[in-house]
Each structure stands twice: as structure tokens, then as C-alpha cells.
Amino acid sequence: MPLVPSTHLCRISDWPALATICRSTLSEVSNGMMSYALRNYLEDTIVLESGGEVVGYWMANRHHGEGVAWLEQIAVDPRAQGKGYGRFLLRDFERRMADAGFRELQLSAHEYSSAAIALYEREGWIRLAHPGEKRGYAKALPGTNRPLPPPLKHSLPRKLWRHLAYRWLVR
């Protein structure tokens, strides 16, 4: 029987696994960029587990005034790739942002990310005119009349999360 993946809001205990996945799959993301992302988008970082192991995550940046949610990072552990986890994560991001009332999703992908680009296109993302080595993609969501929500909230204050993310990544 195949394992059923589950998602949860990022916890401090997830950081080592997220950093390992990020370093092994997103070569363009430096330690400084990951530290910045954890400090600023932690409230919108969803972790995917399968069989008790962290196998992937997505990280969003919500643009409240524009009704646009930006997919900052999405990554699957190389040992778990090819099992549909990338599609699962992408659809989870889309569903959560649609439920939250966003009208548009956006992301960018490097030209060398051919598997990711193929996934985005299969899932209905539209390529935008975007010069350089990155490609921009967007997807419109239904239900645009809903009010925009506040970001997901952790029980710890944002400043404490930022401090902990910074301290963990620079040790």
C-alpha cells in the first residue's frame, strides 16, 4: 500500500530537512537567501511528509494589495522525486491560495528546471514574457470576489521566528 503524504505548517524541527532539500535541489538558492526566506515567509511555508520523513515543501509570498500569491520556492527531496510529490505540493499551494481568496498565482523557474517547467505547464500555468534565464509563470484562480486574508499565523511572534531562523542558519 503506497504511503499517503500529509502537509503541515513549517515547524522549527523541519528546518534541517528543508535546508538539506533546498541545497540539493535549488542550487541557485544560497544560505543567505534561504535564511531570508525562512525569516520572511515562514508563516507561509508548508512541509510535505511521507512515512514520517520530510520529502518536500513550498514557500509563498503573499502580495495582499494585488491579490497575487507568489510561489517563492517549491522543492522535493531528490530521493523522493518521481513519485508525484511535486504535483501534490503544487496543487496544495493552488488550493490553499484559492481558499484564501487570491485571484492569481505567480512563480519563476530557471531554464534548466525542465522537469519543473513541464509540471507547471501540465498543471495549467501560463508562461509570461520574461527575459533572461528565468521564466515567469502565472495561473488565474476562480472566486475573485472574496476578500484577501491575512497571512497564516504561527503561535510564536514573527520577530521570534525570524530570530530563530537566522540563528539556526548561521550556526
Asked, for residue 19, whether it belongs to a domain, the answer is yes
Q: Is 166 among the domain residues?
A: no
> For 7-23, what is the mean pLDDT?
89
Q: How far apart are CA 96 and CA 124, in angstroms?
A: 17
- The verdict on residue 44 lying in a domain is yes
Counting the structural domains of the chain, the total is: 1
Q: What domain range includes position 94? A: 6-154
- Is 95 inside any structural domain? yes
Q: What is the CATH number of the domain that holds 98?
A: 3.40.630.30
Instruction: Quick: pLDDT tens for 121-153.
Output: 999 998 886 555 567 888 888 765 444 344 444
Alpha helices, H only, the chain:
15-25, 31-41, 85-99, 114-122, 158-170
Identify the pLDDT of residue 133: 54
pLDDT attached to residue 1: 41
The percent of residues in the chain predicted with pLDDT above 70, rounded, is: 74
Q: Identify the band that residue 91 occupies on the pLDDT scale cut at 50, 70 and 90.
A: very high
Please give the model's pTM, rounded to 2 decimal places.
0.78
